[in-house]
Chains A and B, each alone.
Chain A
C-alpha cells in the first residue's frame, strides 16, 4: 500500500495505491485521521487501489465521520472491483463518489 497526500490550502487529497488489508489499515488510519486539522475538503483518490478489506472500509467510515456534515468528503476514481465492495456495504448512499 502506498499513501500520497497533496494539500492545497484547506483541501487535502490522499491517493491510496495497492491493497488495504487488515495488516496495513492502521497505517492508513493514522495517515488520514492525523492530517485533518484545518482541512475542509478531503478527497480520497483510489485510482490505483485494487483491493480493500473491511479494515479499510472502517477507516473510510471514520474519515467520513470526522469530516462530519459540514465539511466535504469525497472518493474519486474507484475501480470496479472496489466499487462493488462499497456498493455491497451501502457506502454509495452515504459517501460522495465524485
Chain B
C-alpha cells in the first residue's frame, strides 16, 4: 500500500493530471462562489425594489391628512375603509404584514401602530395583529436609523433585509415608505413585510446547476488534458527518462528513440540522447583502450624501476665479512624511476669505489641516462689502475659523444683504500661530501669542482685526497636533500642537513640516513617531493679485523682454520709471500695440537685472529696436555741426511717464519700466540 502511494506520488502522470484537476476544481469553486454571490445579491436587491413599489402602491390607500384624525380617534368610517383596503392589499400582494405606524419623533425609540394587516398564510407565520394605538419600542438601531432617514432626511423609501433574523423569525424583507399630509409633511410610515424564503428557494437550483456544470466541465477537461499531456509530453519524457536510466546502468547503445512526440523540442531531446549514446559508447571504448595502455605503461615503468633498483646495491650490509667499515645508502626517487644513483664496489680486496651521482631531469629519460653512466663508471673504475679523475675524464668523453638529449650528470667518485682509510676522489659538479671525524661533527669537505659530465669533451678532472681514520664517517648526498621544500616554499638547505646529520652523528650509517630522511620528511610535511633524494653513509671502523672460531682439534679442520686466517689476510691486503709464511705457521701449530694435545682423546681448539694494516696476531688455545712447544730444541741442521730425524721441523719453521711466537698456560689452557708484522 505504502509503495503504491509512494509510486503515485512520484509518477509524473499522476502528479501533472492531479494538479490540473485540483486547479480546475479550485477555479470552479471560486467562480461558483463569485457567481452565486453576484446573482443572489441582484435577486435580493430586485426583491427589495419590488417590495418597495408594492409598499408605495399600498401607501396610496392611506390619506396622510386623516392620520392625525385617526390618532385622535375621529373619522371611524374612513379608518374602517382604509383598514379594509389594506387587508385586501395584504392578501392580494401576498405579503406577510402591512402596518402603518406613527414614530415618536423625539428620539425614534418607539412608535404607535395606526393600522396593521396580517397575512399568516403566505409564509406559515403566527403574527398577531397590533390593535390600533398599540405602542411598541423600535425593534433595533437599524430600524431607528431608517425611520430617521425617512422622517428627517426626506428619503423616499428604505429597505431592511433580515435574511437571518436573530429573533427566530423567518427571513423577510421590510420596505418602508413615508405617508405625507397635504403639506408634504411625513406623518406616518407604511411598512410592508414580505417573506424572503421564495428568494432562497429561487437561488438553490441555480447553485446546483452551476455546481453540476462545473464538475462536468472539470471532469471532461481533466480527461482531455490528461490524454493530451500523456500522449504528447509525459510519454516522451518517460521514454527519454527510461532510455537514459537504461544507458546509465548498461553503458551500451540501445534502439534509437527516433520521433517520439509532435513537439520538436522532444524530438530534439531524443535525437540528442541517441547522439549522446553513440558518442559516449565511443568515448567509453576509447577510455578503455587508453586505460589499458596506461596500465601497460605503468607495468613497464614498474619493470624499469625494478631494473633500476636492481642496478644499485640494495642489500645491507653489502659485505658482511668486511668489518673494517660499515656502509649504508638509500635512494628515494621523486617519480617512479629517478635520475639519482649511488654505487659501491670492490676494485680489489683493498680498494672500495664509492659513487654518487645526479642526472639532470627526472623520470624515464633521466633513469636511462643514469643507467648508461652508472655502467660506464663502474666498468671503468673496476677495471683498476685508473684514478677517479681519469675515470671521470674518460666517462665524460664517452657520455659527450653519445649525449643526443643534451642531458648531464654530476658525479662524485671516490676510491678508498680500506687498509689505510685513504680516499682519492674527484668531483664532476656534484655536492661536496660531509665528513665527521671521530667524536666530532659533520662538516662539508669543500673542494674545487670539475664540470658536470656530458657537456664538453676533453675535460681534466682533479684528484683530491683525504684520509678517513678509525671512527670517521663520510656522508654523500644529492641535492634533493638540501633542496627539499616545505609547504611554505622554504628549503631544507645544507645547514638543515648538517644539523640533522649532527643530531645522529654518533649513530650507525643506517641510523644516520634514516634520521636525515625523517628530518627531511618532517620538514617537508605534506609538500610533494620534487627531486630524487639519495644518500650514502660510510663509516671507517679502522683497520682492525677480528675473527675467531672454535673447532675440533682434528686434521680435518685444518682447512677451516687456514681459510679463516687467509680470509683476514686477504681483506687486509697482505702481500702474498707473507701470507704464505703465516699460513705455514698456522698449519704447523694446528697440526701439532691436533696430533698431540689430546692424545687419543678428542678436544677442541680455539683460534683468534686479529689483523690490522700493520700486521696480524693469531692465538691458539687448547685444553690438552700442558705443553710448551717452544721449549723443544731446534733441530740440528748440521747433521747429514742419514743422521737427521724424520719430523720435528714444524715448530722450528713457525719460529723462523713468524716475527714473534709466545707460549703461556692460562686457566688450564695452552695459549700459543703468533705475530707477524707487515705493511699493506
**For residue A67, which residue of chain B has the nearest CB?**
B641
A54-B644 contact given A21-B587, A93-B637, CB 8 Å threshold: no
- Separation of A55 and B649 alpha carbons in the complex (Å): 9
Segment 638-675 of B: residues with Cβ below 8 Å from A: 638, 640-642, 644, 646-647, 649-650, 652-653, 656-657
In this complex, the interface size class of chain B, counting residues with CB under 8 Å from chain A, is 20 to 34
* A23, A51, A55, A61: the one within 8 Å of B644 (CB): A61
What 0/1 pattern do residues 24 to 52 of A give for CB contact below 8 A with B?
A: 00000000000000000000000000110
- Nearest CB of B to A96, in Å: 10
- Nearest CB of A to B238, in Å: 99
B641 and A64 contacting across the interface, CB-CB below 8 Å: yes
- Which chain A residues lie closer than 8 Å to B12 at the CB level? none
- Nearest CB of A to B118, in Å: 164
A53 and B646 contacting across the interface, CB-CB below 8 Å: no
- Separation of A40 and B646 alpha carbons in the complex (Å): 22
- Nearest CB of B to A1, in Å: 13
B257 close to A (CB within 8 Å) = no
Which stretch of B126-134, B417-425, B497-505, B576-584 is in the interface? B576-584
- Which chain A residues lie closer than 8 Å to B331 at the CB level? none
- Which chain A residues lie closer than 8 Å to B14 at the CB level? none
* B591, B637, B640, B642: the one within 8 Å of A89 (CB): B637
- Nearest CB of B to A71, in Å: 12
A95 and B587 contacting across the interface, CB-CB below 8 Å: no
A53 and B587 contacting across the interface, CB-CB below 8 Å: yes
- Nearest CB of A to B541, in Å: 31
A58-B580 contact given A22-B591, A65-B641, CB 8 Å threshold: no
* A21, A62, A85, A95: the one within 8 Å of B646 (CB): A62
B54 close to A (CB within 8 Å) = no
- Separation of A23 and B555 alpha carbons in the complex (Å): 6
A51 and B637 contacting across the interface, CB-CB below 8 Å: no
B653 and A88 contacting across the interface, CB-CB below 8 Å: yes
- Separation of A90 and B648 alpha carbons in the complex (Å): 13
B635 close to A (CB within 8 Å) = yes
**For residue A80, which residue of chain B has the nearest CB?**
B577
- Separation of A88 and B638 alpha carbons in the complex (Å): 12
- Separation of A22 and B592 alpha carbons in the complex (Å): 10
B637 and A61 contacting across the interface, CB-CB below 8 Å: no
* A65, A81, A85, A89: the one within 8 Å of B635 (CB): A89
A21-B558 contact given A51-B583, A95-B641, CB 8 Å threshold: yes
- Which chain B residues lie closer than 8 Å to A54 at the CB level? 588, 591, 647, 649-650, 653
B249 close to A (CB within 8 Å) = no
A58 and B638 contacting across the interface, CB-CB below 8 Å: no
B644 and A22 contacting across the interface, CB-CB below 8 Å: no
A75 close to B (CB within 8 Å) = no
- Nearest CB of A to B649, in Å: 4
User: Interface majority SS on B: helix, strand, loop or mixed?
Assistant: helix
Segment 68-105 of B: residues with Cβ below 8 Å from A: none
A61 and B558 contacting across the interface, CB-CB below 8 Å: no
- Nearest CB of A to B588, in Å: 6
- Which chain A residues lie closer than 8 Å to B584 at the CB level? 51, 53, 85
- Nearest CB of B to A62, in Å: 6
Segment 58-98 of A: residues with Cβ below 8 Å from B: 58, 61-62, 64-65, 68-69, 81, 85, 88-90, 93-95
- Separation of A93 and B584 alpha carbons in the complex (Å): 22
A58 and B649 contacting across the interface, CB-CB below 8 Å: yes
**For residue A59, which residue of chain B has the nearest CB?**
B646
A17 close to B (CB within 8 Å) = no
A22 and B555 contacting across the interface, CB-CB below 8 Å: yes
- Separation of A17 and B341 alpha carbons in the complex (Å): 47
- Which chain B residues lie closer than 8 Å to A61 at the CB level? 641, 644, 646
**For residue B595, which residue of chain A has the nearest CB?**
A22
**For residue A62, which residue of chain B has the nearest CB?**
B646
- Separation of A62 and B647 alpha carbons in the complex (Å): 10
- Separation of A35 and B558 alpha carbons in the complex (Å): 28
A81 and B577 contacting across the interface, CB-CB below 8 Å: yes
- Which chain A residues lie closer than 8 Å to B637 at the CB level? 89-90, 93
**For residue B643, which residue of chain A has the nearest CB?**
A94
- Separation of A57 and B644 alpha carbons in the complex (Å): 12
- Separation of A58 and B652 alpha carbons in the complex (Å): 13
**For residue B584, which residue of chain A has the nearest CB?**
A53
- Separation of A69 and B640 alpha carbons in the complex (Å): 11
- Which chain B residues lie closer than 8 Å to A23 at the CB level? 555-556, 558-559
- Nearest CB of A to B563, in Å: 12
- Nearest CB of A to B594, in Å: 8
- Nearest CB of A to B307, in Å: 43
**For residue B576, which residue of chain A has the nearest CB?**
A81
- Which chain B residues lie closer than 8 Å to A85 at the CB level? 584, 653
- Separation of A22 and B647 alpha carbons in the complex (Å): 12
B642 and A65 contacting across the interface, CB-CB below 8 Å: yes
Q: Which of A22, A54, A57, A69 has the most CB atoms of chain B within a 10 A radius of its CB?
A: A54
- Which chain A residues lie closer than 8 Å to B559 at the CB level? 23
A51-B580 contact given A57-B649, A89-B653, A94-B641, CB 8 Å threshold: yes
Segment 550-570 of B: residues with Cβ below 8 Å from A: 555-556, 558-559
Segment 255-286 of B: residues with Cβ below 8 Å from A: none
- Which chain B residues lie closer than 8 Å to A58 at the CB level? 646-647, 649
- Separation of A90 and B644 alpha carbons in the complex (Å): 11
- Which chain B residues lie closer than 8 Å to A89 at the CB level? 635, 637, 649, 652-653
- Separation of A64 and B577 alpha carbons in the complex (Å): 27
- Separation of A77 and B249 alpha carbons in the complex (Å): 94
- Separation of A17 and B8 alpha carbons in the complex (Å): 107
- Nearest CB of A to B676, in Å: 15
- Which chain A residues lie closer than 8 Å to B641 at the CB level? 61, 64-65, 94-95
Q: Residues on A close to B: CB < 8 A?
A: 21-23, 50-51, 53-55, 57-58, 61-62, 64-65, 68-69, 81, 85, 88-90, 93-95
Q: Residues on B close to A: CB < 8 A?
A: 555-556, 558-559, 577, 580, 583-584, 587-588, 591, 635, 637-638, 640-642, 644, 646-647, 649-650, 652-653, 656-657
List 24 interface pairs A-B (beta carbons < 8 Å), by A numbering. Answer: A21-B558, A22-B558, A22-B587, A23-B559, A51-B584, A53-B587, A53-B588, A54-B647, A58-B646, A61-B641, A61-B646, A62-B646, A64-B641, A65-B642, A65-B644, A65-B646, A81-B580, A88-B653, A89-B635, A89-B637, A89-B652, A90-B637, A94-B641, A94-B644
Knowing that A89-B649, A95-B641 are A-B contacts, what are 20 other residue pairs whose CB atoms are under 8 Å apart, sorted by A's residue number?
A21-B558, A22-B558, A22-B587, A23-B558, A51-B583, A51-B584, A53-B584, A53-B587, A58-B646, A61-B641, A85-B653, A88-B656, A88-B657, A89-B635, A89-B637, A89-B652, A90-B637, A93-B638, A94-B641, A94-B644
Q: Which 7 A-B pairs have the closest CB atoms?
A: A90-B637, A54-B650, A94-B641, A22-B591, A54-B649, A64-B641, A53-B587
